[in-house]
Amino acid sequence: MTDQPTTDDTKYPDPAEFSKNLVKIAAQSQQIVADFLKHNDVSEGPQDPLNIGSAFMEFAQKLADNPEKLFEAQIDLWQSYINLWNNAAQRFLGKEGMPVVAPDAGDKRFRDAAWSDGRVFDFIKQSYLLTANWLQKTVHSIDGLDPKTAQKVRFYTRQFVDAMAPSNFLVTNPEVLRVTLESNGDNLVRGLKNLLEDLERGKGKVAVKMTDMQAFEIGRNIATTPGKVVFQNDLMQLIQYNPSTEKVFRRPLLVVPPWINKYYILDLRPENSFVRWAVEQGHTVFIVSWVNPDERHASKTFEDYGFEGIVGALDAIKRATGENEINAIGYCIGGTLMAAMLAYMAATNVHRIKTVTFLTAQVDFTEAGELQVFIDEEQIKHLETLMNRKGFLEAGEMSATFNMLRENDLIWTFVINNYLLGKDPFPFDLLYWNCDPTRMPAQMHSYYLRNMYQRNLLVQPGALSFKGVPLDLRKIDIPVFIQGGREDHIAPARSVYKATQIYTGPVEFVLAGSGHVAGVVNHPAAKKYNHWTSTERPYPPNLDEWLKGATSNPGSWWTAWEKWISTKAGEMVPARKPGGKHKPIEDAPGSYVKVQTLA
């Protein structure tokens, strides 16, 4: 067994071509450094804006206070390396040896056959995995750390470990080495060109291109469900979709998506569009398309999003359909806002929303997952400083944060593909949406981070108020449908589940397979993922207990939701055209959604 192919058709590099490409690489590398310095003043701002240093200093002190545990960990590591060396020696002697450590089943970094067939690369892979696993195990074993500090240390240790994977470097990635030799280094020239373009697009920060951005156009091959913009204000456009059935349910359906991203995640392509599917079920669907904020929206508040967004939509729906009562959906932060508005409406005796569906929406943030790593006082102050300069948070800041939650899938995979292999990313609608982010207004975003993530005030009765009216989520007594994603990294299912213990009306909880996006956008025709339901009432206090009595059902959760919502949507009436008697403003998807912040 060898590490290099020995057949006669082995392609060796052409020295002249390889030398020319090395010169190009050197020139491009110089340009990359110059471009970075042009856009970034490295002398400005805090040296540790993420407040990582103090967390690791505290960790180091705890480690020093417990030398016995560190000694035991070192002994374990050395024993593992002895086993690895013995295994490697057996393989180099031509014998078979069982691996000491293997990648997890879902780890895509070591799929190339050379990682297993090549003795040298197999040794590199196993030595990395041993060290990475040991380091993370050691970090998890230290007692006495503040829980938030421990979470931060573990998170950034994982980021470091994943960044140092041998697959991320030219000389230790067999696939990249092979392509480099076969192409005379042309892959590296193309890769540096891709990096330069991403730096320029990100204005000095690497905005990794995850898909072919020219392959999609909003309104042409994504966000194509036909409809009209029937209302707009400073914060949103309201889209009403054309009916596709002769009869529709009397009660309209309002969808309030997150404004952290754009609404068309729910209307990507016909074959995976929730909007189109809901229209086909006989719902009169309205959706909020939020503005992509700029300096004009700096003073917009969380409360403004509620009244200009949700209440503004309710009034427009009544003008368009004559209906005062609706069913509502709130997705992610759109669901958090919806819960706050429902508490306000309950306190002021307004009953225009008759049922609500929450999609991966948190209201109790005590177990909000790894996003809490970014919510300490120092980091919020740093973000507020950045936002106050322009009146908003740049879209790339939010994107980078979310990508770090799934760093191997959303960062390092593209580093290897785009920069080391020099390939163009594959056209993918969901990743196009992921690369089309939105800004955050300064006042709204500061309020949300401090009062939800940091202080968890929404779940505390009376701690927050709208227009001077104290908010109490316990007063929400309408039928509630809650969907969580089993692998959700942004709104963890156990955090979403907590809402089942708050509302006083009838609650239905469904757990979907996959995560924050794929778990929501899962057309029944795809026959992907399972969803879990339970007939137990009342629901137990936590998700783990709920799962013990839950039943796994094949396919999408959409069908369970439709069975639930169809009994609460009223009788069938003749289909309605968008706007009713009022002239629509423009065709869907509207103009607000087309404002982009990254090219």
pLDDT tens column, 500-522:
999 999 999 999 999 999 999 99
How much is the pLDDT for 505?
A: 95
Please name every residue paired with 441 in a beta bridge, in sequence order, or none if there are none: 392
Token pair recorded at residue 179: 């392509």
How much is the pLDDT for 500?
A: 98
Structure confidence by residue, pLDDT tens digits, 441-472 = 999 999 999 999 999 999 999 999 999 999 99
Q: Confidence band (pLDDT; 50, 70, 90) for 66? A: confident
CA dist., res. 488 & res. 517, Å (int): 8
CA dist., res. 442 & res. 432, Å (int): 26
CA dist., res. 575 & res. 414, Å (int): 46
Q: Which helix (H) or strand (E) holds 369?
A: none
CA dist., res. 66 & res. 184, Å (int): 52
**Would you call 354 exposed, middle or buried from its count of C-beta atoms within 10 A (0-12, 13-18, 19+)?**
middle
Q: Confidence band (pLDDT; 50, 70, 90) for 1? A: very low
Active site residues: 332
Phi-psi region of 185 (alpha: psi -120 to 50; beta: other; left: phi over 0): left
Structure confidence by residue, pLDDT tens digits, 231-255 = 999 999 999 999 999 999 999 999 9
CA dist., res. 61 & res. 40, Å (int): 34
Predicted model pTM: 0.89
Domains of the chain: 15-201 (no CATH), 227-594 (3.40.50.1820)
Q: With b meaning 16 or more CB within 10 Å and e meaning fewer, what string describes 546-577?
A: bbeebeeeebbbbebbbeebeeebbeeeeebe
Kindly state the DSSP code that residue 307 receives in the 8-state scheme: I
Q: Confidence band (pLDDT; 50, 70, 90) for 42? A: very low
Structure confidence by residue, pLDDT tens digits, 152-181 = 889 998 999 999 999 999 999 999 999 999
How much is the pLDDT for 97?
A: 74
Q: Confidence band (pLDDT; 50, 70, 90) for 27? A: low
**Would you call 121 exposed, middle or buried from its count of C-beta atoms within 10 A (0-12, 13-18, 19+)?**
buried
Phi-psi region of 30 (alpha: psi -120 to 50; beta: other; left: phi over 0): alpha
Least confident of 199-208, 209-218, 274-283, 462-471: 199-208
Nearest 10 degrees: CA dihedral of 78, 80, 86, 88?
A: -110
Q: How many residues does the chain have?
A: 599
One-letter identity of residue 343? A
Structure confidence by residue, pLDDT tens digits, 401-439 = 888 888 888 899 999 999 999 999 999 999 999 999 999
